[in-house]
Amino acid sequence: MTVDALTNRRGWWRRNALPLVGVAVLLPATFGVIAWNEWNEYFSGQATQPVVAPPGGSVEFEGAVWGPAEIEVVDPGAEFEAPAGSQVVTAAVPVDPGAHAVTCHTPTLRETTGAQREWSDATFDIGWSPAPDELGSCALTGTDPFTITVAFLVPLDATGPFAVELISPNALPRFARLLVEP
Amino acid sequence: MRRWAAALGGTALVVAAWGTALVTPDDAEAERPFSVPVEIGDRGEGRNLAVTVTGIRAADAATIDGWDAEGPWLIVDLEAAAVQSDLRATLSHATLSVDGRTYRASERPPDSMFRSELAVGVPRSGSIAFELPEEALGDDVAVLSLGLEADPRLDSLIEVHFEPSTLDRIEEAELMSSGWAR
């Protein structure tokens, strides 16, 4: 290869330096923007942004005050015998709706470490009867304070720490995560 | 650039494109379920499903709770639990593949684990029944697939390979009542 040819080759890179830099910037930027856009759209419909209440504390969410959440191992009564290796745990969440009525789904119980397993309401399955003034969700509530109480069937190897999670459909992707005192 | 170098480069690119097209998986391959092969009696765990097939029986007739029907039937006894979350965790995929044909679990028995709800970490037990043509029970190779979604793409499938022809055929088999395993 002659010296001229070498100069020519270097010359091509130099002549096209600006477009090359443009490609180097725009190519990753394109992938980044598309990925961010797609994931953002997906996550905006899912409960992905927790509004966290500290253990034993409450949190303001959707104009209402939620918590402090408490859980308790209970004897479900004569109607139901917990299967071997499991126990019935109830969670109670006091809610002060404030000026407007709130909406929420039935809360779930989650392990906050390890596999972060999640349990949903088992009140019906285990035939546990809550007190008449205890509600399973925010359905048909007004602006008076009330308490949501739900029962879960949890294996004995789930030792916590736990959180009670509440989704309010209009607030997604934000949701309330109330940490429970161990 | 020399003419032969351009021709060589062009050919190399065409070969590379052909090779890429050849090794690119098609859509069905890219969305294939994640198979978890297990033996009868062993626990298989997938993304959100843990199953132990405790027995497989072949019978001319199946019964449960006063219901009975002529078959032939293949009855699968199993224990199943959710692993991570019990939201939408139902045993909705239960198929048996024999000789290129796929049979879905029967909806006829009034009590079956097919489409039943699962709990996280607390196994439930029961039976799933397949109503089969006579020749399927005489075959040497069958694959039982169990999953959470009727559409199994991109999710775990617990799979048991067995030989239907080696099963002892009985006149009448009673399905297990669905309930807590322990």
Q: What is the mean pLDDT of residues A138-149?
A: 82
- Nearest one of A54, A131, A60 to A98, comparing CA atoms: A60
Task: State the total domains in chain A.
Answer: 2
Quickly state the pLDDT bin for A20 (edges 50, 70, 90): very high
Q: Which residue of A has its CA nearest to B1?
A: A5
What six digits make up the tokens of B130? Answer: 């397949």
Same domain, A127 and A99: yes
The complex scores an ipTM of 0.80
Running DSSP on this structure, what letter comes out for residue B117? Answer: B
Cα separation of the two ends of chain B: 77
pLDDT value at B1 more than 70:
no
Residue B62: burial class (beta carbons within 10 Å; 0-12, 13-18, 19+) = buried
Same domain, A116 and A156: yes
Question: What is the tens place of the pLDDT at every residue in B100-120?
Answer: 999 999 999 999 999 999 999
- Nearest one of A61, A125, A70 to A94, comparing CA atoms: A70
Alpha carbon distance A137, A39 (integer Å): 30
Question: What is the tens place of the pLDDT at every residue in A86-98?
Answer: 988 989 999 998 8
In chain B, which residues have their Cβ closer than 8 Å to the Cβ of A125?
119
Alpha carbon distance B7, B168 (integer Å): 68
- Nearest one of B163, B36, B148, B32 to B94, comparing CA atoms: B148
Asked if the Cβ–Cβ distance from A120 to B87 is below 8 Å, we say yes
Same domain, A139 and A158: yes
Alpha carbon distance B1, B163 (integer Å): 65
Same domain, A95 and A153: yes
Most confident range (mean pLDDT) of A13-17, A26-30, A131-135 is A26-30
Radius of gyration of chain B (CA): 22
Same domain, A109 and A26: no
Same domain, A117 and A34: no
CATH, domain range B33-180 = 2.60.40.1240
Q: What are phi and psi of B8, to 5 degrees?
A: -65, -45
Task: Please give the residue range of the domain that contains residue A10.
Answer: 3-44
Same domain, A70 and A92: yes
Contact of A38 with chain B, judged by CB distance below 8 Å, is answered with no
Place of tokens 């190399």: B12
Which member of B84, B181, B182 has the closest CB to residue A117? B84
Alpha carbon distance A52, A164 (integer Å): 10
In chain B, which residues have their Cβ closer than 8 Å to the Cβ of A85?
122, 182
Q: What is the mean pLDDT of residues B139-168?
A: 94
Give the B window 104-163 contacts with A, CB below 8 Å: 119-122
Same domain, A40 and A57: no
In chain A, which residues have their Cβ closer than 8 Å to the Cβ of B83?
115, 117
Same domain, A79 and A163: yes
Same domain, A98 and A156: yes
Residues of chain A above pLDDT 90, percent:
41
Cβ(B124)–Cβ(B76) below 8 Å: no
Quickly state the pLDDT bin for B176 (edges 50, 70, 90): very high
Cβ(B139)–Cβ(B126) below 8 Å: no
Q: What is the mean pLDDT of residues B30-56?
A: 95
Residue A56: burial class (beta carbons within 10 Å; 0-12, 13-18, 19+) = middle
- Nearest one of B94, B59, B56 to B73, comparing CA atoms: B59
**CATH number, position A146:** 2.60.40
Which member of A85, A115, A119 has the closest CB to residue B182? A85
Alpha carbon distance A170, B57 (integer Å): 50
Same domain, A101 and A69: yes
Cis amide linkage into residue A173, ω under 30° from 0: yes
pLDDT value at A113 more than 60:
yes
Same domain, A20 and A97: no
Helix/strand/coil for A25: helix
- Nearest one of A144, A182, A142 to A162, comparing CA atoms: A182
Asked if the Cβ–Cβ distance from B181 to A83 is below 8 Å, we say yes
